[in-house]
Amino acid sequence: MAVITMREALNQAIREEMLRDPDVFLMGEEVAEYQGAYKVTKGLLEQLGPKRVIDTPITELGFAGLGVGAAMVGLRPIIEFMTFNFSILATDQIINSAAKMLYMSGGQFNIPIVFRGPGGSAFQVSSQHSQALESWFAYFPGLKVVMPSTPADAKGLLKTSIRDDDPVIFIEQERMYGNKGEVSEDPEFTIPLGLADIKREGADATIVARSLMVPLALKAAEELEKQGVSCEVIDPRTIRPLDIDTILESVKKTNRVVVAEESHPFCGVAAEISLEIMERAFDYLDAPVKRVSGVDVPMPYAKNLEELAIPGVDQLVAAVREVSYM
Amino acid sequence: MSKQTAPSETSTGSGEKSGTGVIDQAPPKAVAQQLKTVKQEQKQRVDDVDRETLIGLYRQMLLVRRFEEKAAEAYSKGQIGGFCHLYIGQEAVAIGAISAIRPDDYVLTSYRDHGHAIAKGISPDAVMAELFGKAGGCSRGKGGSMHMFDRKANFMGGHAIVGGQIPLATGVAFASKYKGTDQVTLCFFGEAAVNQGAFHESLNMAQLWKLPCIYICENNQYGMGTSLDRAMSFQNIAEKASAYEIASEFVDGMDVLAVKEATARAVERARKDYRPTLIEVRTYRFMGHSMSDPGSYRTRAEIEKHQERDPIKVFSSTLKEKGIIDDAALAEMEKSVREEVEQALRFAEESPQPDSEELFTNVYANPIAPGSQRTKLSNE
């Protein structure tokens, strides 16, 4: 085990899978010669060559669709969006082509493709470059949506995503690329999709958190421990497939739950998780499910406003106290 | 054979810019002129093609025509649902182009895909059953009229978002080059797709990376009910290829042999040198955009004028004049084609509906963890 950054863990995952399977190629803006806008693809061009590590023009719809077409005939593309904000231009190909091809062809054409890149809130880049889009993609049957919160999860889940035979949306939190953690060096280290991780065990309340919210939830749990509340932190890691069973087990144990996300609340993933809990574990709840989300406005630029727009540790603490009637 | 008229000759105001500061583009004459120059006698082309191929091309065009007529009939009886876009009038394009490729080459097209599917080797039975939403359909009843697929035939689908198949085809061609095969990809789309970004993004990448993709624009002169001159500022589509330094040709789409020859030239470029081509094929659809189209945007006279150059009628008279086929043989062929279409209809009628369980299959290739996808009907 070595301690590396999220960025390095992702780089290892791509490198190992490309060495393992010659049908895997990487395509996107600035992935090759520039080494990646966020340096996730550093060194890959040198090691794997220009046939497999390909710089594209700024043409997201075009290269996303090209990737889907290549996947139709057996290649396994990794399509990098410099940021997921730009994937919005490519949604026709992601949703209408990648997600639906297997179904509308009656099972004949599966699409083994990974669309990956940074998403979620970034630092002071205003409305168009700072947004969480997972609920869009998770909405569509046919897509899988992955959001790692640690370097180890990032590596294990990305390797699995590349080996998966379906289209995977892999969202890396832009603020977390420098986060460090222990990561296995075993080239066969993978983590199955659809398996939540209990990031911290606890007895009194559950916080369901993903991506950027996981480290915040862990900090909140530390604070709450001091106040006498033992928190369990569940990280679903994949939004679709969603490991609702692990969440329900925790809720049945703690009887209180807060669902945290940095995205907008309306039609969001937390809303879906909250409903699932209500439908399947209502009798176990000692308080209504509490949702903590980003605010329902486009992301502002000003630092003070930006900080207000994303949930912080204090809000998570307050939410757990609320469901604990403290 | 009467002369085909380019739409800009009949349109009003095309090319006229009054005080807008817009640079004058191709004058209306250019398109008509181009059409004239490509309108060589089909008879000359016949000499370069063997008899069996000629008869095969004719039969396939006739098969698609009769198939579509039968589909229209079934649609009006309510046996086919949803949208149904017929290929009547455009048969020479798919049949001519696909006759110039190998079975292991790839084809992608738009939602107007019945003719291409049959031309690529999917049986009329499977296409008709797909229209009927039956289990015996080529997409097992899940795709319908707009989404014919057949992996065995390398028919990579009808795609129903205008222009959506163009990046996909570019990717299929990318894969051929990546794997080092000499397969080529034909990508069909209507002229309305040329206004989509997907077209321009794809052509740029295809030439940038030298991909063996052949883009065939079936210019039937209407995007649904909007005529070309109301939708496209510069209507010389073949010439748009020059913006990407892609080889291009303008072809008379009422001449199956002209389409075949142009495609064959493009195939050679793609197969040998991994070079893309844009072919603009001027054609005309005799029916509405879809079965629900009232057709109020064009006159009966305009349709009839184009019908004088019906690609099937033109070809049969050429073949007769050249002594390739006679009336008796044509009548015999008509009979066998009608029987084949009747058989397709029977197959579709008798094919079972998809099993209810099929609702939940084919969403994912790798099944996802139990409990994480809702695979029950909400009232269960």
- Confirm whether A166 is domain-assigned: yes
The one-digit pLDDT tens for each residue of chain A (326 residues) are: 899 999 999 999 999 999 999 999 999 999 999 999 999 999 999 999 999 999 999 999 999 999 999 999 999 999 999 999 999 999 999 999 999 999 999 999 999 999 999 999 999 999 999 999 999 999 999 999 999 999 999 999 999 999 999 999 999 999 999 999 999 999 999 999 999 999 999 999 999 999 999 999 999 999 999 999 999 999 999 999 999 999 999 999 999 999 999 999 999 999 999 999 999 999 999 999 999 999 999 999 999 999 999 999 999 999 999 999 99
- Smallest Cα–Cα separation from B143: which of B343, B366, B375, B358? B358
- The verdict on residue A63 lying in a domain is yes
Does residue B303 contact residue B285 with C-beta atoms inside 8 Å?
A: no
Q: Say whether both A151 and A7 belong to one domain.
A: yes
Alpha-carbon distances of A315 from A270, A320, B38, rounded to whole Å = 15, 9, 72
Do A242 and A297 sit in the same domain of this protein? yes
DSSP string covering B159-192, please?
--STTTHHHHHHHHHHHHHHHT----EEEEEEGG
Q: Does A305 touch chain B (CB under 8 A)?
A: no
- Looking at A183, A217, A233, the residue that finishes a domain is A183
A277 close to B (CB below 8 A): no
Q: What integer best gives the mean pLDDT of chain A?
A: 97
Instruction: Report if residue A192 sits inside a domain.
Output: no
Which residue type does A244 have?
I
Residue A189 lies in a domain: no
Q: What is the CATH number of the domain that holds A255?
A: 3.40.50.920
pLDDT at B40: 55
Interchain CB contact of B158 with A (< 8 Å): no
Task: Average the pLDDT over B200-214 and give the result.
Answer: 98
Domains of chain B by range and CATH?
A: 26-244+254-350 (3.40.50.970)
Q: Is B20 on the interface with A (CB under 8 A)?
A: no
Set of chain A residues whose Cβ sits within 8 Å of the Cβ of B145:
none
A60 is catalytic: yes
Alpha-carbon gap: B169 to the closest alpha carbon of chain A (Å): 6
A255 and A318 fall within a common domain:
yes
- For all residues of chain B together, what is the average pLDDT? 88
The B247-252 sheet, strands edge to edge: B155-158, B106-109, B185-190, B213-219, B277-282, B247-252
Whether A129 is a known active-site residue: answer: yes
Range of the domain at A28: 2-183
Q: Same domain, yes or no, for A158 and A91?
A: yes
A127, A149, A183: which is the final residue of a domain?
A: A183
On whether both A86 and A174 belong to a single domain, the answer is yes
Residues of A in contact with B365 (CB under 8 A): 102, 110, 112, 165-166
Cβ of A144 and B368 within 8 Å? Answer: yes
Domain shared by A41 and A118, yes or no: yes
Is residue A217, in this structure, part of any structural domain at all?
Answer: yes
| Number of domain units in chain A | 2
Which CATH number goes with the domain that contains A173? 3.40.50.970
Calculated CA dihedral for residues B332, B335, B340, B342, nearest 10 degrees: -170
Are A25 and A173 contained in the same domain? yes
Closest Cα to residue A144, out of B357, B366, B167, B165? B366
- B106-109 and B155-158: which strand pairing? parallel
- Asked if A149 and A267 sit in the same domain, the reply is no
Q: Check the CA dihedral A151-A154-A157-A163 and report its sign.
A: negative
Mark which of A155, A183, A211 sits at the end of a domain: A183
Lowest-confidence pick of A132-136, A298-302, B2-6, B370-374: B2-6
| Active-site residue (options: A8, A16, A17, A60) | A60
> pLDDT tens-digit profile of A6-42?
999 999 999 999 999 999 999 999 999 999 999 999 9
